[in-house]
Amino acid sequence: KMMTLYIAFEAVEHGEIALDTMVTISAHAANEPPSKLGLKPGQKIQLRYLIRAAAIKSANDAATAIGEAISGSEAAFARRMNRTAEALGMTRTTFKNANGLTENGHLSTARDMTTLGRHLFYDYPDYYHLFKRTSVDIPGQTLPNTNRRFLNAYRGADGIKTGFTNAAGFNLVASAERGSQRVIATMFGGTSTQARNDRVAQLLDLGFSRTPERVAVQRPARPGYVGPNGQTVRLAGAPEKSIRPRPKPGFAAPAEDVVLALAEGIEAVVEELAETGTAATAAPAQAFVAGTDIAPPAKPAVAAASAFGLAPSVLNEIANVVVDAVARDESAVTAPQEPPNPGIILDAVEVASADPEPVEVVNRISTSGGRHWGVNVGRFNTRDGADRMLIRTALAELASLGEALRKVVNGPKGFEANFVGLTQEGADLACRRLAARGTECTVLGPPS
């Protein structure tokens, strides 16, 4: 079920499915043996509750329903599980189903499950907290965690997952944190719950005793996104060769120290806002000399930070840092050389004069409401609180909210934190991505 949950988190993050998607339970899922929720064929339930049931109660019917909802069938989902296992480096694992019940050819090892546990922790930190809950609520019932005994008994334990089959015995992938140290241990083949827990506690103790007090954390490399059709989309790394458009004359790419200064400046802005609660104001207009062919060096920090409505004093401080860095880079305003281009030589052709073509004007009407849609990310008691939320959210979700405008609306019940100026598709995508991060949001339609 750990792999089923890993893929569920991945699918939500990439917009394949949403946490509030209503999943229709199939007869196949409903007929899974215990442990189970007791779901009925044709019943509809939100994906978020299936995730809770699979993670906390270890419900087999819920796990199967998750796989069918994402891939259409359990067989197709098992193929995706195996592709993901390969991407994670789980070399001795083969999945046949979504719930982990005994099946011919369905197998794994303690080492591979430890690898999966590390990726659950590092790749999806926004969801990992689910595994340390001793119980969760779903409509109509409270589900106790099958791992609650170990969570309550072992100091620092915060997950991850139990398992049991007659063939494999009592199993546990456990994770614990003490100070800056984290240890993950896995045991297969326990003879009882208590024997399993005792042995895992010994393994964790051994790990903590051998772990240095201060050591650099080596995060596992996150694999490429294994999409629903089996294509792997790399999340990091650049191609060896790429076709780039020619840079605009007079505007070379900024030097590395310019980029670093900008990043540090934005961090300083966020820290200052957190300490002083400076009210958001627009940056002053920047003057330039008219009549020149090349504009003066831009201040990228001002442009970037003013998009978040930051104080002028702070913006100027960042701008000075960035401009100083630009000045140190002699190539920053040097027009790039045109690359050699032999072009295509044509025979001379005499062109007869002709009347100009009439201009055709086409008016298009947007069917999605234009950029009149938005996303609400919460209501706050103070304007400052709403501003902070908008800044944090924008910095965390630049991909979908980079062009949105921040707007705080003073309503009768508090200050609404809104992103506006989006298309319907853009607002829907942004809210899905925020929900995947654990941020509650609401899509706002055009004003009537």
- Decide if 2-210 and 373-444 have a common fold: no
Which among 263, 266, 258, 276 has a CA at the least distance from the CA of 391? 266
| pLDDT tens digits along 383-430 | 888 888 898 888 888 788 888 899 999 988 889 999 998 998 889 899
What is the C-alpha separation between 46 and 104, in angstroms, rounded? Answer: 31
Four-residue CA torsion sign, 79, 81, 82, 87: positive
- What are phi and psi for residue 288, nearest 5 degrees? -145, 160
* pLDDT band of 448, cuts 50, 70, 90: low
Check whether 367 has a pLDDT greater than 50.
Answer: no
Q: What is the pTM of this model?
A: 0.55
pLDDT band at 290 (very low <50, low <70, confident <90, very high): very low
- pLDDT per residue as tens digits for the range 225-244: 877 766 555 444 444 444 44
- Judge whether residue 109 has pLDDT over 80: yes
Question: Per-residue pLDDT for 255 more than 50?
Answer: no
Backbone φ and ψ of 195, nearest 5° = -60, -40
pLDDT at residue 267 above 70? no
- Residue (of 59, 215, 225, 209) closest to 145 by Cα position: 59
Name which of 63-72, 115-124, 218-227, 304-313 the model is least confident about. Answer: 304-313
- Please, which residues bridge with residue 143 across strands? 136
Q: What share of the chain is helix, strand, coil (3-state, %, to 5)?
A: 40, 15, 45
pLDDT, the chain, mean = 77
Q: What residues does each domain of the chain span?
A: 2-210, 373-444
**How large is the average pLDDT for residues 180-200?**
95
The mean per-residue pLDDT over the stretch 297-321 comes to 45
Q: Are 396 and 363 in contact (CB under 8 A)?
A: no
Residue 271 clears pLDDT 60, i.e. is over it: no
Element spanning 177, H or E: strand 169-178
SS3 assignment for 255-321: CHHHHHHHHHHHHHHHHHHHHHCCCCCCCCCCCCCCCCCCCCCCCHHHHHHHCCCCCHHHHHHHHHH
For the cut 60, the answer to whether the pLDDT of residue 136 exceeds it is yes
CATH C-level class of 2-210: alpha beta
CB atoms within 10 A of CB 140: 7
Contact predicate 20/48, CB 8 Å: yes
What CA–CA distance (Å, rounded) separates 411 from 393?
21
The stretch 432-437 carries a mean pLDDT of 85
Q: Which CATH class is domain 373-444?
A: alpha beta
Q: For tokens 């849609």, what's the residue?
A: 373
Quick check: 35 and 59 in contact, CB under 8 A?
yes
- Per-residue pLDDT band at 358 (split at 50, 70, 90): low
Identify whether the C-beta of residue 186 lies closer than 8 Å to the C-beta of residue 109: no
